[in-house]
Amino acid sequence: MKRNFRARNTQQRRHAIMQLLQQQGEASVEHLVQQFETSEVTIRKDLGALEASGFLLRRYGGAVLMPQEFIEESCEENISKQKLSIAKAAAELIRDHNRIIIDSGSTTAALIKQLNRKQGLVVMTNSLSVATELRLLENEPTLLMTGGTWDTRSESFQGKVAEQVLRSYDFDQLFIGADGIDLERGTTTFNELLGLSRVMAEVSREVIVMVESQKIGRKMPNLELVWGQIDLLVTDKGLSAEAKSLIEAQGVEVLIAA
């Protein structure tokens, strides 16, 4: 028998949604509307609030429980030793006067402070936080922003406008992160907004993926960049010899940060 949740307040309903997700792992908006006898608009507001609090990830037509490894990662320091070592190694690949793209993400953001000694850089980003950090650099790189539609999940600009802006330029290098690495296919993510990442790769002569070793072998639902679009992967010394060989077999150079 279906329980009647109409009398519950907003906080009680959201708590009940989380209990349901903990039991089932995922739920559709349609199911939640029926379960709680409320409108689709109300359920979407609930899911948006719960996602903003870091409890779940919205998917097309519903939501999934936030993976435990994501929850654990959000509790770590903003820039871990792994991220810092990867950022330092990636920065060595950048020459003065290069035109680069830095995608949104905590690993790519760690790259910013390593750019202070580079001269004449032109940097495009879709991330407000990356743009803010770039403005604080003493060497004052030229800053370009994609604009577009703001996506609260990735905290970055996405969409057709952003893609059109990117196609107006060409770049020497793209620095991009990943939620996971599928050793057979390429980079993977929970985010369903994949178009901009692919355009970034399309307009860049060299595509460099920055990712911590524990994410290698982690398969997310959505394939972002296939191996054929990637030139180099920068990771830390936790990468296994077997995984390194499999990646290199795909024609991708692997750089292990000290």
Instruction: Tell me if 74 is assigned to some domain.
Output: no
Domain shared by 147 and 48, yes or no: no
What one-letter code names the amino acid at 125? T
CATH of the domain at 19: 1.10.10.10
Least confident of 29-38, 71-80, 141-150: 71-80
Average pLDDT, the chain: 87
Q: What pTM did the predictor assign?
A: 0.70
- Single out the residue in 40, 66, 92 at which a domain terminates: 66
Domain shared by 23 and 144, yes or no: no
Give the count of alpha carbons within 13 A of 256, CB side only. 11
- 12 pLDDT higher than 90: no
The per-residue pLDDT for 135 is 86
Strand partners, 158: 149
Handedness of CA 15, 48, 53, 81 (dihedral sign): positive
The total of structural domains in the chain comes to 2
Instruction: Tell me if 71 is assigned to some domain.
Output: no
CATH of the domain at 199: 3.40.50.1360
Domain shared by 170 and 123, yes or no: yes
| Tens of pLDDT, residues 205-252 | 999 999 999 999 887 778 999 999 999 999 999 999 999 999 999 999
Domain that holds residue 125: 81-256
d(CA 45, CA 43): 5
| Tens of pLDDT, residues 117-139 | 899 999 999 998 899 889 888 88
Instruction: Tell me if 146 is assigned to some domain.
Output: yes
| Tens of pLDDT, residues 138-182 | 888 999 999 999 887 777 899 999 999 999 999 999 999 998 999
